[in-house]
Amino acid sequence: AFTSARSLPACLWPVFAVQFWTFWAWFAFKMFASEWMGTCVFGGRAGSPEGSPEHEQYEAGVRWANFSLMTLSGVFCASSLVQKALADCFGLQRVWCFSLVLLAVSMCLMATPGLTPWQAWLLVAVLGFPFSAAFSFPWTVVTKVAAGLESTGRITAGFNLSQCLPDFAIAFMSGPLIAASQIDSVTPVLLVGGLGAAVAAVLASRLDLEELKRTDSDVTTAELEAADPLQAQTLGLQQDARRSKK
């Protein structure tokens, strides 16, 4: 996948950056959602003696987290059915940016002390919408650009790194961050995830989607030369063949 990243056309690297920070937020939430619910919302403590109040509160929080994540999945499925209609009505970029703002606000609010279980449930449930957008809008753009190119598989594999690298980054960063915060809580990780989503929203608002709508005939050989010389040569031959037919 790392070598495949070199096949990404220059116009897709801004989309790569948006997806990287989106999944930075996603993995910050995914790794610590149950821990956050059990400790920060329900006031329990992981590893406390079985039968103790802290243990019971933590177990109740984990069960509530599972219920909240189930609701998130339902919102994810439902919003997936209306994403295209919303994009057609309001514009893909506006809906995409709105979803990222919603992700950033929700995750930052998770760091608020004193949340009730139902408030926490709502903050988790609404994340189904931005995560549905994250699995549809960026890939719509990428596959549109890659559709007419010879190395479509390498382009999509390279773009997939935008969803894999944040997983490693959050995994390595979260422990030292929690230790440095000295508050024995996962809320700093959620807050950092929310800030990552905010970065993604800003970057998404600056994308030139009209430029990204170009087809393979619009992608120039010069643009691909730096990324993949063989692909550029193949594209040049294809374009010459088109011109000869005309």
* CA–CA gap between residue 14 and residue 212 (Å, rounded): 10
Residue 234 has which token pair? 């193949």
Higher pLDDT, 6 or 21: 21
Domains and CATH numbers, the chain: 4-147+156-210 (1.20.1250.20)
Cβ–Cβ under 8 Å, residues 204 and 100: yes
Cβ–Cβ under 8 Å, residues 18 and 12: no
Give which of 131, 140, 34, 19 is closest to 75, Cα–Cα: 131
pLDDT digit string, tens, across residues 174-231: 888 888 887 778 999 999 999 999 999 999 999 887 766 654 444 544 444 444 454 4
The predicted structure's pLDDT at residue 174: 87
Residue 58 has which token pair? 């933590």
Q: Which amino acid is at 26?
A: W
This prediction has a pTM of 0.81
The DSSP call for residue 40 is: I
* Least confident stretch, 37-41, 149-153, 174-178, 240-244: 240-244
* CA–CA gap between residue 8 and residue 13 (Å, rounded): 7
Tally of CB atoms within 10 A around 172: 10
Tally of CB atoms within 10 A around 36: 25
